């Protein structure tokens, strides 16, 4: 045993020495003109981009809504101003796809009728403390007895039915997210199709439920619309009330208008490569532009994902202004419909603007705006790509720098990068690590505001991308 440990120790020491040597030989002399562009990337601009994208006028950037199209126009105008080539449909920056959506007018209402010391009383819950309205609820009011149906899954081939023996006609069901199986093995794979929120809502309606309380309080348009199914998301303490045995029946009210024919888009801009033979190869950089909308209060989506889009904008601007031109092409894709079920990345992968075999890598940015360190996901899997970014950090940025292996998950896809990965693209991601003391970030919540961002780390992410992408695009001996 001891021998093995010693041997391992030696290997690790050797590995560290050689990577240090590699980092030293990486050090690149860069012209002052190039460094001028590098230093023009400022935290001030980064924060201004994030503030614009999170502005109330864009209503939380719900994909499919007119407000989303307005923010897409704003992004396209910046790309145009900086000289990127439109690379969407028909010479525009926009790659369009179908994206039905629901317009939520206000936060609705949720109340419970209960009995206390022989008296009937009605207790109202409040948004956003106790519940969030369902983003794709039908409009209306429903009152009914509440029935707990576990995960809300009917899976005949697995011999499983949460609704077995229950009469829920016209009632309100309470369901949990997830599936009754943990882990990532073959058994889990069988359950994955049942983990989709859409399927759980459809199944409740099919069984006759008139209302639904989703036991997971989060703003989430990644659900389905069912006629005559009114639903909302509840916090654990509301669920606890339910099972305390005091609640008689619940009333859910939703004021919503469904737009079944709305469309949305990805915004795509290209920096064409300067080398006649390498310009057909592309490096893709993407992040979702859409958010979860307005639930009676705008969810600004500053960290998720105005931050990643701001990083991309700053890097695109610098690359377009660079005196050193990239030999390979670099394409920026601001993705729509992520929050509605990854619609934009599915659409791109089915309609790629460069063929798969000519795409060097897809880099994803999602929630890249808070922290103290930098990370490159997939860096261990593709060291030939990652070394360029590692070198920029060790030469110029000196941040804590993490790399990880690219992992393909078998579960329900929850990020654009999973869709690209499953379509056969090499996928990597830019990220941040570490937390800034005293600042609490929020997810799919009205508190996801620009006040929780760290503009200095966003500046460094953009600088890392600018020089790293340029070096990668100009690497004529690229090996993966
Ligand atoms: Zn996100």
Q: CATH number for the domain including 225?
A: 3.50.30.30
The pLDDT confidence band at residue 247, using thresholds 50, 70 and 90, is: low
In this prediction, residue 367 carries a pLDDT of: 97
Query: How many whole angstroms from 212 Cα to the centroid of ligand 1?
Result: 25
SS (H, E, C) 255-300: CEEEECCCEEEEEEEEECCCCCCCCCCEEEEEEECCECCECCCECC
70 Cα to the center of ligand 1, angstroms? 19
Co-location of 267 and 356 in the same domain? yes
In this structure, are 140 and 110 located in the same domain? yes
- Looking at the fold, whether 61 and 171 belong to one and the same domain comes out as no
CA of 445 to the centre of ligand 1 (A): 12
Asked if residue 29 belongs to a domain, the reply is: yes
Residue 176 belongs to domain spanning: 103-259
Confidence category of residue 205, pLDDT binned at 50, 70, 90:
very high
Average pLDDT of the chain is 91
CATH number, domain with residue 447 = 3.40.630.10
Q: What is the DSSP string of 317-373?
A: HHHHH-SSPPSSEEEEEEE-SSTTTSHHHHHHHHS-SS-GGGEEEEEEESS-SS-SE
Q: How confident is the model at residue 244 (pLDDT cuts 50, 70, 90)?
A: low
pLDDT at 11: 38
Single residue among 225, 259, 293 that ends a domain in this structure: 259
pLDDT digits (tens, 9 = 90+) for 367-419: 999 999 999 999 999 999 999 999 999 999 999 999 999 877 778 898 999 99
Alpha-carbon distance of 432 to 428, in angstroms, equals 13
CA of residue 150 to ligand 1 center, whole Å:
27
User: What is the reported pLDDT for 249?
Assistant: 82
pLDDT of residue 17: 39
pTM assigned to the model: 0.91
Residues 155 and 279 in one domain: no
**Ligand 1 mean position, distance from CA 116 (Å):** 43
**Do residues 44 and 109 share a domain?**
no
Ligand 1 centroid to residue 275 C-alpha, Å: 35
Q: Which of 36-50, 79-93, 266-280, 402-416 has the lowest average pLDDT? A: 402-416
Residue 18 covered by a domain: no
- Asked, for residue 354, whether it belongs to a domain, the answer is yes
Taking the centre of ligand 1 as the mean of its atom positions, its distance from the CA of residue 327, in whole angstroms, is 31
Quick one: pLDDT band at residue 268, thresholds 50, 70, 90? Answer: very high
Q: What confidence tens digit (pLDDT) does each residue in 435-444 have? A: 999 999 999 9
The reported pLDDT for the residue numbered 118 is 79
Residue after which a domain boundary falls, among 210, 244, 259: 259
441 Cα–ligand 1 center, Å: 13
- C-alpha 408 to ligand 1 mean position (Å): 18
Number of domains in the chain: 2
Q: Is there a domain that residue 187 lies in?
A: yes
pLDDT tens, residue by residue, 316-357: 999 999 999 999 999 999 999 999 999 999 999 999 999 999
pLDDT tens-digit series, residues 106-151: 999 999 887 777 788 888 999 999 999 999 999 999 999 999 999 9
pLDDT of residue 245: 58
pLDDT band at 2 (very low <50, low <70, confident <90, very high): very low
Domain end among 259, 290, 310:
259
Q: How far apart are CA 273 and CA 328, in angstroms?
A: 4
d(CA 59, CA 53): 10
What is the per-residue pLDDT for 411? Answer: 84
* Statement to judge: residues 394 and 276 lie in one domain: yes
414 C-alpha to ligand 1 centroid (Å) = 9
Taking the centre of ligand 1 as the mean of its atom positions, its distance from the CA of residue 415, in whole angstroms, is: 7
How far, in Å, is the centroid of ligand 1 from the Cα of 287? 8
Ligand 1 centre and the CA of 146: distance in Å? 32
Residue 142 β-bridge partners: 252
Torsion angle of the four alpha carbons 468, 472, 474, 476, in this order, in degrees rounded to the nearest 10: 150
Report whether 33 contacts 444 (CB < 8 A): no
């Amino acid at each position: 045993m001891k021998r093995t440990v010693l041997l391992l120790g030696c290997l690790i020491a050797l590995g560290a020495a050689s990577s240090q040597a590699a980092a030293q030989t990486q050090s690149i002399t860069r012209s002052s003109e190039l460094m001028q562009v590098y230093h023009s990337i400022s935290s001030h601009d980064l924060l201004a981009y994030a503030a614009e994208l999170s502005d109330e006028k864009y209503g939380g950037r719900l994909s499919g809504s007119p407000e989303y199209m307005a923010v897409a126009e704003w992004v396209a105008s910046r790309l145009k101003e900086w000289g990127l080539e439109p690379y969407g449909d028909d010479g525009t920056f926009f790659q369009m796809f179908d994206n039905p959506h629901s317009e939520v007018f206000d936060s609705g209402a949720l109340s419970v009728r209960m009995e206390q010391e022989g008296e009937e009383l009605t207790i109202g819950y409040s948004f956003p403390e106790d519940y969030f309205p369902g983003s794709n609820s039908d409009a209306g009011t429903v009152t009914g007895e509440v029935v707990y149906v576990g995960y809300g899954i009917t899976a005949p081939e697995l011999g499983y039915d949460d609704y077995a023996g229950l009469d829920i006609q016209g009632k309100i069901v309470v369901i949990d997210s997830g599936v009754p199986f943990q882990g990532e093995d073959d058994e889990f794979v069988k359950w994955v199709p049942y983990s989709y929120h859409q399927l759980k809502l459809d199944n409740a309606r099919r069984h006759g439920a008139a209302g639904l309380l989703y036991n997971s309080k989060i703003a989430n348009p990644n659900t389905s619309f069912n006629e005559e199914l009114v639903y909302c998301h509840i916090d654990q303490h509301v669920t606890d009330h339910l099972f305390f045995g005091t609640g008689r029946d619940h009333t859910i009210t939703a004021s919503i208008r469904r737009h079944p024919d709305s469309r949305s888009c990805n915004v795509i801009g290209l920096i064409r490569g300067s080398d006649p033979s390498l310009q057909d190869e592309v490096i893709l950089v993407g992040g979702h532009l859409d958010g979860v909308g307005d639930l009676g209060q705008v969810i600004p989506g500053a960290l998720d994902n105005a931050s990643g889009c701001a990083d991309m904008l700053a890097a695109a601007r610098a690359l377009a202004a660079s005196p050193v031109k990239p030999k390979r092409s670099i394409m920026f894709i601001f993705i729509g419909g992520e929050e509605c079920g990854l619609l934009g990345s599915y659409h791109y992968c089915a309609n790629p603007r460069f063929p798969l075999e000519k795409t060097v890598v897809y880099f994803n940015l999602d929630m890249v705006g808070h922290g103290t360190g930098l990370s490159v996901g997939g860096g261990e899997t593709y060291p030939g790509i990652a070394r360029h970014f590692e070198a920029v950090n060790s030469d110029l940025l000196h941040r804590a720098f993490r790399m990880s292996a690219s992992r393909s998950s078998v579960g329900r896809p929850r990020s654009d990068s999973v869709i690209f990965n499953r379509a056969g693209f090499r996928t990597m991601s830019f990220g941040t690590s570490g937390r800034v003391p005293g600042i609490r970030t929020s997810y799919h919540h009205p508190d996801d505001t620009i006040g929780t961002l760290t503009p200095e780390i966003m500046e460094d992410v953009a600088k890392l991308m600018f020089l790293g992408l340029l070096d990668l695009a100009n690497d004529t001996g690229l090996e993966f």
